[in-house]
Structure 1
Amino acid sequence: MTNRRNFLSGAGAITGAVAAASVSKAAMAALPEPVLQARPDTMPPLAPASGRPYNPVVTLNGWTLPWRMNNGVKEFHLVAEPVVREMAPGFKAHLWGYNGQSPGPTIEVVEGDRVRIFVTNKLPEHTSIHWHGQRLPNGMDGVTGLTQPAIQPGKTFVYEFVARRPGTFMYHPHADEMTQMAMGMMGFWVTHPRGKHPLIDEVDRDFVFLLNAYDIEPGSATPKIMTMLDFNLWSWNSRVFPGIDSLNVRLNDKVRIRFGNLTMTNHPMHLHGHEFVVTGTDGGPTPRSTRWHEVTTDVAVGQMRQIEFVADEEGDWAFHCHKSHHTMNAMGHDVPTMIGVDHRDMVKKITKLVPDYMVMGERGMADMTEMEMPIPDNTVPMMGGQGPFGSVEMGGMFSVVKVRRGQKPGDYSNPGWFRHPQGTVAYEFEGQRPEPPRSRSAGAAGMPARDKSASDLEVRIRKPAGRHSGH
C-alpha cells in the first residue's frame, strides 16, 4: 500500500501495551492508520499540513512519515516488519525495516512538539525503538530490559515525549541489535527549530540519509548477520551505486546534507568541487567558532554529521566515502592480485576445459566494467554505472551532486548529465612528446657496494646435536 496522507482516525484499535504509565489510555482508543511505502525513489519533501511550519527535508531514496494531530499531539505510527528493499535495479534484499522500507521513513517534528509514536511489531521476535540522541524521559529511551519491557510480536507500544531540542537524530532498535540492525532496522529523525535560531541557518535544500552496510552473498537475498567487519555492500539508505539517486540542486542554492553512520566502521565523506562546513552533530548545532572549511569529514560509528555549502559551481560533482573499498559493490576478499602476471598461455589451456573462463585483474580491476561475463542472479556488478564519458567505475557509497543554473526552486528532478562549456573537459594530447632527460653515467652501478666479495658465498647451517635436534 502506498498512501502518504490518508489517515483514518477511526481505524480499529490494535491490542497492545503502553511503554510507560504516563501515556493515557485514551491514546490507544484509535490508532492512526500505518502509512506504507515500497518504492525506492526519492520522494518529494512532505510539506506540513498541520502543526508548526518548517522547511521539510528530502530523504535520499526515501520519504517522510505523515502524521495526524490529536488534541495538539503529533501522532505517528511505525510498523516494524520484514521488507523487500531494492538496493539497485535488478537487485533486491530481504531486510527488516519499518512501514515497507529499510531504512524506515524519516520522522520530522518541530522543537517543542509533543509527539506520540505508536510502534507495532510484526517481526518474528521482540523489538524496541531507541530514539538516538534525544532528550526524553528515561522510560521512553527504548532499551529492552533496562527502561522498558520488550515489544512482543503482534503487540503495539506507545512512546510519548516532547522534542526538546532541534537537531539531527536517528532511531533504531535496542533489542537483539546484532540481528535487527544488521537486517536494516533504522531510520532518520529531524527536529526543526521552532523559529530563527542563532546557530541554524535557513537553507534552500536539505537532504538526509543513513550510512549502512550489509554482507549479502552474490545470488542470495538475506544479509549474514554474524559479519563484523568484512561487509561487501556499503550503502546509503540501503541503496548502492548506481542505484543511489543524485542530489539535484539549483546554482547558488545553500545546501544542507545530514547523514548518520550505523555501520561498523567510520566513513570519511568527501565532496568534489566545493568546500563545506560541519554545522551540526547528533549533539546539536556546532558553535560558529568551531567551524572551518573542509572537503572531507569523518563520521564515526553511531555519529551524525550535518554539512552545509553554497552550490556555486555548476557541474556533476562526485560525493562519496573516501575509503576505496566502500565505493565498490559485492566482491570477494580472497581474490589474489594478478597485476603484471601474463598468463595468456595458461588461459588458452584452461579455456579448453572451462570455456567461460576469463582472466581477472592482470592489468587492474577496471577491465571488470567492460566484461560481459554473467553474474549470479539477484546481485549487482562490483563497479559500474554509466556516465557521459563511459563507465564511472564506482559502486557502493557513491552519488553525484548535480548543480544546475536552470534547476527551479523546489525542483528535485534529475536534470541529466552536465553539458560542459567548450574547452572545459580534459582531453588527449596528440602532439609530440619530448623525451625526458636521463643520466647515462650512473644507473644501477652508480653507488657500488663497498668491500664486495670476490666470489659467491655459500652459507651452511649445522644443527646442534642432542636435545636441540628438534629445532
Structure 2
Amino acid sequence: MNRRHFLGSSGGLLAGLALPTLASAAVAAPSATGSAASSSAGGRGYRPVVTLGGRTLGFRLNNGVKEFHLIAEEVEQEVAPGMSARFWGYNGGSPGPTIEAVEGDTVRIFVSNRLPEHTTIHWHGLLLPNGMDGVGGLNQPQIKPGETFRYEFRLTKSGTFMYHPHADETLQMAQGMMGLFIVHPKNARERPVDRDYAFLLASYKIDPGTRRPDPSEMTDFNLWTFNSRTFPAIPPLLARTGERVRIRVGNLTMTNHPIHLHGHDFRVTGTDGGWIPAAAQWPEVTTDVAVGQMRVIEFIANAPGDWAFHCHKSHHTMGPMGHGVPNLVGVDQKAATAKLEKLFDGQHYMEMGSSGMAEMQDMAAMGSMMPLPTNTLPMMTGEGPFGPIEMGGMFTTLKVRDSLAPNDERDPGWYTHPQGSVANKVDPKRTDGLPR
C-alpha cells in the first residue's frame, strides 16, 4: 500500500491534523522522476498527472472533504543550470504544486498569504459559486499579508484547469504565481492513458546578472519556460513504445504558442472548457495554445527515438538575448575587431554574428566563449549525442523506448539508432546529375 492509498483511506485519522500540517500531510503524487502508477485517492482510482519538474499537492480527508493548503510566498528557484530566479509562487515553487482531485469531490482549499502585498486565487475554468471565483474586490475581499482564506466548492466536471491570482495580477503572474488544477473523471475507466504529463507556459523578463522578473515588461521577454524552467532543465517526457500518452499544456504568457511534436501526430482532445467529443477532435502535429487557454493532446507513442517537443516560435526556444542588437550577419568585423583590441590594451575581443549565431554555440562548446554576467544563461544551450542541440527556452524531448518499463519515469539516456538510420555525410559527387 503506497502513501496515496493509505492516506486516501484514512480520513478519520487525518481529519484531526492542524492547518499548518496540511502541506506536510501530503498525499504524495509523483514528480517528473517518480512513479506514475494508478492511485485510489479518496476511494476512486485514477492515474496521477506527472508535472514536469514539479509535484502534486497533498491533501487530507476531513469528513469526506478534500482539504488542501496553498501558501503564496517568494521562492528562489533554479531556471536552468547556472541560473536561478526569485519568483513569487506557492509552497516553495513556481508554478505552485498541481492540485489533483476527482469529479464530484468537494474541495476545501486554504490559502495563506506570505507575500508583501494582498492577493487572491482565481480557479480558471472551474464552475463554482460566484463568491469562490477569486476576483479581488468583485467576488471577495483581498487576502492581506498574514491572512488565510478558505475556498470551498464541489467539482462538477472533469478536465484540465489552472489557478492564478486576480489581484495585482499583472505583477503577480509576471512573478510566477500560477498552478495546475486537474480534475479526473469520476469513472476511472473513462479516457484512460498510460502516461499523463502537464505543464504551464510562462515568460519572464530577467535582465542579465539579476534574479527578479520585471513586472513592467509587456512584450520583450527573454525567458520562455515550461513550468518556469528552460531547456536543458526541463525533464524529458517518456513513453514505452505503444503507450497512449496525454500532454496537458496551459498558457499564462502574453502571446500564443504553437506547440509542436516531432515524429508523431496527435489529436486535440481537450481545452479548459472540457473534453472534446471524439467526433469533434482533430489531428495535428502542432497546436496553437492562445493566451489563457489549455490544450490537451493525446497520441500513441509508436516511433522509438528522441523526439523534439517545443514551441514553434523560434525565439521561444532561446535563452536571454538582446533585442536591440544590430544585425551583423554578413558583416566583416575584422577591421573593427583590431581597433577594439587596441582600445582595450590588446585584450582579446571576439566578434560574433557575422556568419550566424551558431558560432556562439560552437565557441561555448570549445570553452572559448567570453564569460557571461553572473546568473545569466546563454542564448542557446544543451548538448546531445551529436553535439550542441542549440536550443533553450520552451524545448524538451519525448523519449520513446521499446524497453521502457510501464510507469518508469527515469531518463533512459540518448537513443541508440539502428544501423544505417542516421542522416550522414556523403561525397558531394553523388549529387552529380541530379536536377537543380
The two structures share one fold, judged by TM-score above 0.5:
yes
SS of 1:293 mapped into structure 2? strand
- CA deviations 1:402-447 (Å, max 9, x no partner) are 00011000101100000000100000112525667999xxxxxxxx
- CA deviations 1:376-399 (Å, max 9, x no partner) are 111211101000000000110000
Instruction: Verify: 1:97 aligned to 2:89, yes or no.
Output: yes
SS of 1:105 mapped into structure 2? coil
- How many angstroms apart in 2 are the aligned matches of 1:217 and 1:408? 42
2:357 corresponding residue in structure 1: 365
- CA deviations 1:264-305 (Å, max 9, x no partner) are 000000000000000000010012222221100001000000
**8 Å Cα contact 1:43-1:63 kept in structure 2:** no
1:377 corresponding residue in structure 2: 374
SS of 1:432 mapped into structure 2? helix
Match of 2:237 among 244, 247, 272: 247
Report the CA distance between 1:227 and its aligned residue: 0.5
Report the CA distance between 1:353 and its aligned residue: 2.2
**CA separation of 1:147 and 1:249: change in aligned 2, threshold 3 A:** same
1:453 corresponding residue in structure 2: none
SS of 1:249 mapped into structure 2? strand
Match of 2:413 among 412, 416, 423: 416
2:386 corresponding residue in structure 1: 389
**8 Å Cα contact 1:43-1:59 kept in structure 2:** no
**CA separation of 1:31 and 1:94: change in aligned 2, threshold 3 A:** closer
Report the CA distance between 1:235 and its aligned residue: 0.2
Percent of aligned pairs with the same amino acid: 59
SS of 1:370 mapped into structure 2? helix
Q: CA RMSD in A?
A: 2.3
Pairs within 5 Å for 1:160-199: 160-195=152-187
Report the CA distance between 1:54 and its aligned residue: 1.2
Instruction: Verify: 1:34 aligned to 2:23, yes or no.
Output: yes
1:401 corresponding residue in structure 2: 398
Instruction: Verify: 1:211 aligned to 2:208, yes or no.
Output: no
Match of 1:301 among 278, 291, 310: 291
Match of 2:135 among 117, 125, 143: 143
Report the CA distance between 1:351 and its aligned residue: 1.5
Instruction: Verify: 1:71 aligned to 2:63, yes or no.
Output: yes
1:277 corresponding residue in structure 2: 267
**8 Å Cα contact 1:32-1:68 kept in structure 2:** no
**CA separation of 1:48 and 1:86: change in aligned 2, threshold 3 A:** farther
**8 Å Cα contact 1:78-1:99 kept in structure 2:** yes
Which amino acid in 2 is paired with 1:336?
A: P
- How many angstroms apart in 1 are the aligned matches of 2:326 and 2:382? 25
Unaligned runs of 5+ in 1: 13-29, 440-471
Unaligned runs of 5+ in 2: 8-12, 364-368
**8 Å Cα contact 2:46-2:188 kept in structure 1:** no
Match of 1:228 among 218, 223, 236: 218
**CA separation of 1:194 and 1:9: change in aligned 2, threshold 3 A:** closer
**8 Å Cα contact 2:33-2:409 kept in structure 1:** no
**8 Å Cα contact 2:268-2:295 kept in structure 1:** yes
Pairs within 5 Å for 1:120-135: 120-135=112-127
- How many angstroms apart in 2 are the aligned matches of 1:73 and 1:31? 17
Report the CA distance between 1:342 and its aligned residue: 1.4
**8 Å Cα contact 2:22-2:58 kept in structure 1:** no
Q: Max radius of gyration: which structure?
A: 1
1:111 corresponding residue in structure 2: 103
- How many angstroms apart in 2 are the aligned matches of 1:187 and 1:397? 17
- How many angstroms apart in 1 are the aligned matches of 2:339 and 2:72? 54
Which amino acid in 2 is paired with 1:178?
A: T
- How many angstroms apart in 2 are the aligned matches of 1:316 and 1:250? 12
2:319 corresponding residue in structure 1: 329
- How many angstroms apart in 2 are the aligned matches of 1:421 and 1:111? 45
Which amino acid in 2 is paired with 1:80?
A: A
Aligned length: 416
Of the structure 1 ranges 82-91 and 254-263, higher mean CA displacement relative to structure 2 is found in 82-91
Of Structure 1 and Structure 2, the greater helix share is in 2
**8 Å Cα contact 2:14-2:62 kept in structure 1:** no
TM-score when normalising by structure 1:
0.84
- How many angstroms apart in 1 are the aligned matches of 2:17 and 2:228? 31
Report the CA distance between 1:52 and its aligned residue: 2.1
Which amino acid in 2 is paired with 1:380?
A: L
- How many angstroms apart in 1 are the aligned matches of 2:270 and 2:45? 21
- How many angstroms apart in 1 are the aligned matches of 2:401 and 2:175? 37
Instruction: Verify: 1:320 aligned to 2:310, yes or no.
Output: yes
- How many angstroms apart in 2 are the aligned matches of 1:329 and 1:194? 41
Which amino acid in 2 is paired with 1:375?
A: L
Which amino acid in 2 is paired with 1:307?
A: I
- How many angstroms apart in 2 are the aligned matches of 1:145 and 1:438? 69
Which amino acid in 2 is paired with 1:33?
A: L
Which amino acid in 2 is paired with 1:107?
A: I
**CA separation of 1:51 and 1:116: change in aligned 2, threshold 3 A:** farther
1:427 corresponding residue in structure 2: 424
Moved over 3 A (4+): 3-12, 45-51, 433-439
Which amino acid in 1 is paired with 2:265?
A: E
1:86 corresponding residue in structure 2: 78
**8 Å Cα contact 1:385-1:394 kept in structure 2:** yes
Report the CA distance between 1:357 and its aligned residue: 2.1
**CA separation of 1:11 and 1:314: change in aligned 2, threshold 3 A:** same
**CA separation of 1:436 and 1:259: change in aligned 2, threshold 3 A:** same
**8 Å Cα contact 1:255-1:309 kept in structure 2:** yes
**CA separation of 1:383 and 1:437: change in aligned 2, threshold 3 A:** closer
Report the CA distance between 1:201 and its aligned residue: 2.0
**CA separation of 1:434 and 1:310: change in aligned 2, threshold 3 A:** closer
- How many angstroms apart in 2 are the aligned matches of 1:196 and 1:10? 29
- How many angstroms apart in 2 are the aligned matches of 1:420 and 1:432? 27
**8 Å Cα contact 2:180-2:200 kept in structure 1:** yes
Report the CA distance between 1:340 and its aligned residue: 1.1
- How many angstroms apart in 2 are the aligned matches of 1:331 and 1:171? 30
Instruction: Verify: 1:286 aligned to 2:276, yes or no.
Output: yes
